[in-house]
Structure 1
Amino acid sequence: MKGIVFTEFLDLVEDKFGIKMVDKIIHQSKLESEGVYTSIGTYRFSEMLQLLQNLNKNTGIAIDDLLLIYGEHFFGIIETSYPGLLATYKDPIEMISSIENHIHVEVRKIYPDAELPTFLVEEKKENSLTVVYQSSRAMHHFGLGLMNKTFEHFNTKATINLEKIKEDGTEVRFFINKK
């Protein structure tokens, strides 16, 4: 997992819960990296899982909710760092439907060894989209947070519902309807 995912997560934890919480979850975790991350480094997903689990234990906030908040936060990084990429789209449905064939292609140019989830478009209409998320990491609520902020970025409202295809969350179907 790319380091930027870790550095931004810890920045979010510091912003929301303070630096003491960052130190606490790092010390409660058994991290090969010892909690020292660079944005360009690559780290084991198990470290992110430990950090999330310890943040959950210390705050009582469900992991899915933490991932949702983090996905919404991470969209701000995309807005700041890659405004040209966002500017190529005029509609959130168009942008979300191009994750696999455009956005992830661009991400791989920057981070060739990135392990990205798969987003398969099942059905696309002018005001709706059905997408299947697949990832062994089961971070679908991170994706939901990104989607929420995508609609906000385009000053558009939507309802986004999900159903777990696999109970462990490694395969999830998103039903997106633009209002």
Structure 2
Amino acid sequence: MKGIVFVELVRMAESALGEDVVDEILDETELETDGAFSVVGNYPCRELLTIVEAIGARVKVPVEDLHEQFGQWMFARFVESYPVFFEGKTDGFDMLESIENEVHVEVRKLYPEVELPSFTTERLSADQFKMVYDSERPLHHFCKGMIQSCMEHFQQEVDLQMVDRSQDGRFTAEFTLQKAA
């Protein structure tokens, strides 16, 4: 997993808890990297999961909620750092449809070694959208947070439902979005 994800997780935690508390958490947590990450490095996903679990235990927040918050944080960084991906998108459904065939294509050009989740999308109607997350990594709650922020970015009120269909080491979640009346 790209180091930028780890750096942003630490930044998010520091903004909420302060540097000293985050340093304590990282020092107390058994990590192969000792909590030292660079934006250009590659690190095992289990390190990210371990850090989120340690933060959750410290602040007594469910891990799934922290993953969603982190997804929201990362979406904001994405908007800030890659505005070109939002050009020509009229709503959040357009943006979500572009992830697999536009965003991921560009990411693979920059980082051919990166392992990305796959997304399939379907417009069920003008007001209803389905997206399926599939990965070897259990980051479907992170994905949910990104979807929530995407809809907020496009000022779209939706009812978002997630059904976890994970099994046999594959993490799959089906998201259904219904535009609010």
Give TM-score, length-normalised by structure 1.
0.93
Unaligned runs of 5+ in 1: none
Q: Answer with 101-110 or 39-48: which moved more.
A: 101-110
The AA in structure 2 aligned to 1:119 is: F
- 1:1-179 to structure 2, matched below 5 A, reads 1-166=1-166, 170-179=171-180
What per-residue deviation string (whole Å, max 9, x for no partner) do you get for residues 87-131 of structure 1?
Answer: 231111111122111111122222222211111225543221111
The AA in structure 1 aligned to 2:159 is: T
The AA in structure 2 aligned to 1:104 is: H
Counterpart Cα distance in 2 of 1:141 and 1:131: 13
Cα offset, 1:25, TM superposition: 1.9
Cα offset, 1:10, TM superposition: 0.1
Cα offset, 1:35, TM superposition: 1.1
CA-based RMSD: 1.6
Q: Percent identity?
A: 32
Deviating beyond 4 angstroms after TM superposition, the runs of 4 or more aligned structure 1 residues are: none
Counterpart Cα distance in 2 of 1:50 and 1:21: 16
Unaligned runs of 5+ in 2: none
